[in-house]
Amino acid sequence: MVYHGPEGGDAHAMGASYSGLMIFKGTFDDRPEGEITFMTTGTHSKEKGAVAEWKADPDTATGGFKGLKGIGGYAATTMGPTPCTLQLSE
């Protein structure tokens, strides 16, 4: 994670960006169980809140996820529950 803003500034006013990996293990529709890894990127700012994007790495797919492509993410503007999107396709 990288923080953006003036050194010694108000931590709540600073922004941040990150990248990472997310591994999903489970089932999709009536397919057998499998795993797939998502490459993730995200930002956080006072103006936009937390925003994340996910992109599936099809080369990591096993079981029922083989042959699938996927994207997803979320945009959280409050500390409450946040809907996530995930679109998988062949």
Residue appearing with tokens 């529709």: 29
Q: In this predicted model, what pLDDT tens digit does every residue of 58-70 receive, in sequence order?
A: 999 999 999 999 9
CATH number for the domain harbouring residue 52? 2.40.350.10
Q: In this predicted model, what pLDDT tens digit does every residue of 50-60 receive, in sequence order?
A: 999 999 999 99
For the record, the structure tokens of 90 come out as 């062949």
Q: In this predicted model, what pLDDT tens digit does every residue of 14-47 receive, in sequence order?
A: 788 999 999 999 998 899 999 999 999 999 888 8
Domain extent for 75? 2-89
CB–CB of 51/41 below 8 Å?
no
Q: How many domains does the chain have?
A: 1
Give the model's pLDDT for residue 85.
93
For the record, the structure tokens of 5 come out as 């803003």
Q: How far is CA 29 from CA 26, 32, 42, in A?
A: 10, 9, 28
CA geometry: angle 53, 57, 61, nearest 5 deg:
130
Report the distance separating Cα 22 and Cα 78, nearest Å. Answer: 22
Report the distance separating Cα 56 and Cα 18, nearest Å. Answer: 17
Does pLDDT of 11 surpass 90? no
pLDDT band of 9, cuts 50, 70, 90: low
